[in-house]
């Protein structure tokens, strides 16, 4: 691929005390790509995400995010967390949640500019009409789309979504992927999910955290070939065709079904 | 009715300066109960604040002992309480950040050890020392200096809450996202805990150590039912705290009962009533 690399892992290993999680992880992502990062629960997806966001530091190896250390570059990421510990009694409106996407380490920005950018982001996820509603009044799927709007509010170059469609109804899922489809090509998108069989048809490449290299304790990352499933808007992950994680041009595509 | 008129006369009379002091302490405390209480409530650190508030009895006991024995003459109980509160906040904050598994144990241990140290030092303090005035508050003990310190802390808390409002709101709502946005979430947490520790010491003159935590959470919880955002929760909570403080002071005066306990009982009853009303409304709407 000719577009610049925005995320690069070089031989990264990571351990918690008494637990080796990742070993020999090398992969890269190009600008504008739509990437799925899949793996079963407990495989190290959250750890890998924390490494990308600079919330954890690798034990060995290096990580470059937009050519910098992730802890410096992470403010340029639009991050959509699972937000599993959400407090429904927290008093906040939809618009205020989205404005939070532009919060800085200190100080505050002009109110009008914040409102304008937040409404623009809500338009992108088709929820502008709900901007004044309490966030807790929304359905789970709508709340997830509001979090996507919050991530988009700062107009990030990279969007990272952690399990974005978990517990989401089909309609909300379709709306979310429609939004992501509009962003594809202009924004680099990385989706983390535990569904290892199918990914969205928007996906360009899939990375899988599942395999252990011979003689290693921690897991590593490999790529698998994708196969279109016609009419369903999804691609099947072909686990029997493995590609080195750091390779981004494939000799041949899998045949369509 | 005559008791109520008597209360207002006492409030305005130069012969009862302690009633006026208690009234102003109530007004000034309400700002802290409202603004800081809302932050404590939405950040869900009421348990931590409760442990700090009880542990300050250790600092009070040590200060009284050192002062009465002449080891450190004229050492104010407030000074010892502030040092103890800040140390407790530092330990509790660090444990909360570093060791989630042992958090509960350490918090409860600090709560109990702090109180026990206070009781032991008070027992060995020459002369009569009544821990109950610190535990449950005593409006006779509120001095002009206490009021000035409360006013200064009010101003500091309002300024910090105004300037760092976006960061406080963001870290309380979603700490992980805030960290990605570059906000030093751990520092914000420790600063909030330290300010809460100092506030707890100043507020205990009005309602006492045992009941400070109730007033840091009940007005905020009551305001939370109708609040649209954190700032409206802070304003509503301050107004509720003002209402509870004033009615508690008046009722305590009229019925000759401890004001601190009266304030908390009124606040608690109001909160429970509002919670019941909220639950009924929720059931009807579903």
pTM: 0.89
| A255 — pLDDT class (breaks 50, 70, 90) | very low
Is the CB of residue B133 less than 8 Å away from at least one CB of chain A? Answer: no
Answer yes or no: are the C-beta atoms of A52 and A7 closer than 8 Å: yes
Which residues in chain B are contacts of A91 at CB distance < 8 A? 42, 224, 227-230, 232-233
The domains of chain B, with CATH numbers, are: 2-285 (1.10.3470.10)
Q: What is the pLDDT of residues B172-193, one digit of tens each?
A: 999 999 999 999 999 999 999 9
B173 to A97: CB separation less than 8 angstroms, yes or no: yes
| Nearest Cα to Cα of residue B50 among B80, B20, B88 | B88
- Specify which residues A184 forms β-bridges with: A187
Q: Which residues of A touch B183 (CB under 8 A)?
A: 103-105
A100 touches chain B (CB under 8 A): yes
Residue A250 predicted with pLDDT over 70: no
Contact A92 B174 (CB under 8 A): no
Measured distance between the N- and C-terminal CA atoms of chain B, rounded to whole angstroms: 44
Q: A62: distance to nearest CA of chain B, Å?
A: 19
Architecture of domain A5-89+158-243: 3-Layer(aba) Sandwich (3.40)
B181–A87 C-beta distance less than 8 A: no
Most confidently predicted of A19-23, A202-206, B158-162 = B158-162
For residue A50, give how far its alpha carbon lies from the nearest alpha carbon of chain B (Å).
Answer: 10
Helix (H) or strand (E) holding A248: none
Six token digits for residue B272: 């429970």
Confidence of residue A256 (pLDDT cuts 50, 70, 90): very low
DSSP string, B108-155: HHHHHHHHHHHHHHHHTSSS---HHHHHH--GGG--HHHHHHHHHHHH
Q: Which of B46-55, B97-106, B150-159, B273-282 has the lowest mean pLDDT?
A: B97-106
State what percent of residues in chain B have pLDDT above 90: 67
Q: How far is Cα B54 from Cα B166, in angstroms, rounded to an integer?
A: 31
* Average predicted confidence (pLDDT) for chain B: 91
**Token pair for residue A71?**
């802890």
* Whole-angstrom distance, CA of residue B254 vs CA of residue B4: 7
Å from B263 to nearest chain A CA? 25
The 3-state DSSP class for residue B222 equals helix
What residues of chain B lie within 8 A of the CB of A134, using their CB? 228
Average pLDDT over residues A214-228: 84
**Cα B15 to Cα B34: distance, rounded to the nearest angstrom:** 31
Would you tell me how many other CB atoms lie within 10 Å of the CB of residue B193? 24
Per-residue pLDDT for B99 more than 80?
no
Does residue A111 belong to the interface with chain B, where contact is any CB pair within 8 Å? no
| B160 touches A: beta carbon within 8 Å | no
Instruction: Give the pairing type, strands A77-80 and A158-162.
Output: parallel
Q: Phi first, then psi: what are they for A36, rounded to 5°?
A: -110, 135
- Helices B230-255 and B17-42: crossing angle, nearest 10°? 150
Taking the CB of residue B247, how many other CB atoms lie within 10 A of it? 16
Residue of A nearest to B181 (CA): A75
Tell me how crowded residue B5 is: count the other CB atoms within 10 A of its CB. Answer: 10
According to DSSP, the residues that pair with A242 across neighbouring strands are A224
End-to-end CA distance of chain A: 26
Predicted ipTM beyond 0.95:
no
Mean pLDDT in residue range A135-146? 91
Residue A246: pLDDT above 60? yes
Residue A252 has pLDDT above 50, yes or no: no
String of DSSP letters for A47-98: HHHHHHTTSS--SEEEEEETTB-HHHHGGGEEEE---TT--TT---BHHHHH
Angle between helices B230-255 and B209-224 (to 10 degrees): 130
Averaged pLDDT for residues A65-72: 94
Question: Is the pLDDT higher at A50 or at A84?
Answer: A50
Query: Model confidence over A185-194: pLDDT tens digits?
Result: 889 999 998 8
Q: Is the pLDDT of residue A169 over 90?
A: no
Quickly state the pLDDT bin for A135 (edges 50, 70, 90): very high
What is the torsion angle, in degrees rounded to the nearest 10, for the CA atoms of residue A149, residue A151, residue A152 and residue A153?
Answer: 80
Cβ separation of A106 and B170 shorter than 8 Å? no
């Amino acid at each position: 691929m000719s577009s610049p690399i925005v995320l690069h892992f070089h031989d990264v290993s990571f351990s918690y005390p008494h637990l080796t999680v990742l070993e020999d992880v090398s992969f890269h992502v190009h600008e504008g790509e739509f990437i799925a990062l899949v793996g079963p629960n407990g495989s190290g997806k959250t750890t890998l995400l924390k490494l990308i966001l600079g919330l954890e530091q690798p034990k060995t190896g290096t990580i470059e995010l937009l050519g910098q250390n992730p802890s410096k570059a992470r403010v340029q990421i639009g991050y959509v967390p699972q937000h599993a510990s959400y407090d429904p009694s927290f008093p906040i409106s939809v618009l205020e949640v989205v404005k939070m996407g532009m919060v800085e380490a200190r100080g505050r920005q002009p109110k009008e500019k914040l409102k304008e950018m937040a409404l623009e982001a809500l338009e992108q996820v088709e929820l502008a009409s709900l901007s004044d509603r309490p966030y807790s009044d929304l359905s789970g799927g709508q709340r997830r789309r509001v979090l996507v709007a919050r991530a988009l509010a700062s107009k990030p170059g990279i969007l990272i979504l952690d399990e974005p469609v978990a517990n989401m109804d089909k309609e909300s899922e379709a709306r979310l992927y429609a939004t992501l489809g509009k962003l594809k090509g202009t924004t680099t998108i990385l989706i983390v999910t535990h569904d290892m069989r199918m990914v969205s048809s928007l996906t360009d490449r899939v990375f899988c955290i599942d395999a252990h290299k011979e003689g290693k304790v921690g897991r590593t990352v490999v790529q698998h070939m994708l196969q279109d499933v016609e009419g369903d808007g999804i691609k099947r992950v072909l686990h029997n065709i493995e590609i080195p994680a750091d390779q981004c041009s494939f000799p041949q595509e899998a045949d369509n079904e | 009715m005559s008791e109520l008129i008597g209360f207002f006369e006492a409030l305005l009379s130069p012969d009862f300066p302690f009633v006026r002091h208690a009234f102003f302490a109530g007004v000034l405390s309400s700002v802290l109960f409202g603004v800081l209480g809302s932050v404590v409530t939405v950040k869900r650190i009421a348990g931590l604040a409760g442990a700090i508030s009880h542990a300050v009895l250790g600092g009070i006991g040590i200060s009284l002992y050192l002062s009465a024995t002449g080891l450190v003459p004229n050492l104010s109980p407030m000074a010892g309480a502030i040092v103890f509160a800040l140390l407790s906040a530092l330990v509790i904050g660090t444990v909360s950040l570093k060791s989630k598994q042992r958090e509960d144990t350490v918090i409860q241990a600090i709560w109990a050890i702090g109180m026990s140290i206070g009781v032991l030092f008070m027992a060995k303090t020459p002369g009569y020392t009544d821990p109950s005035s610190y535990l449950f508050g005593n409006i006779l003990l509120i001095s002009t200096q206490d009021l000035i310190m409360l006013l200064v802390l009010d101003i500091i808390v309002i300024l910090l809450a105004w300037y760092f409002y976006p960061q406080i709101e963001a870290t309380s709502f979603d700490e992980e996202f805030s960290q990605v946005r570059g906000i030093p979430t751990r520092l914000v947490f420790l600063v909030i805990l330290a300010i809460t520790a100092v506030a707890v010491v100043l507020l205990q003159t009005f309602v006492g150590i045992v009941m400070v935590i109730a007033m840091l959470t009940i007005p905020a919880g009551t305001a939370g039912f109708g609040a649209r955002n954190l700032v409206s929760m802070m304003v509503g909570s301050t107004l509720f705290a003002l209402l509870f403080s004033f009615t508690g002071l008046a009722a305590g005066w009229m019925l000759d009962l401890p004001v601190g306990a009266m304030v908390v009982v009124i606040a608690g009853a109001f909160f429970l009533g509002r919670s019941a009303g909220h639950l009924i409304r929720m059931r009807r709407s579903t």
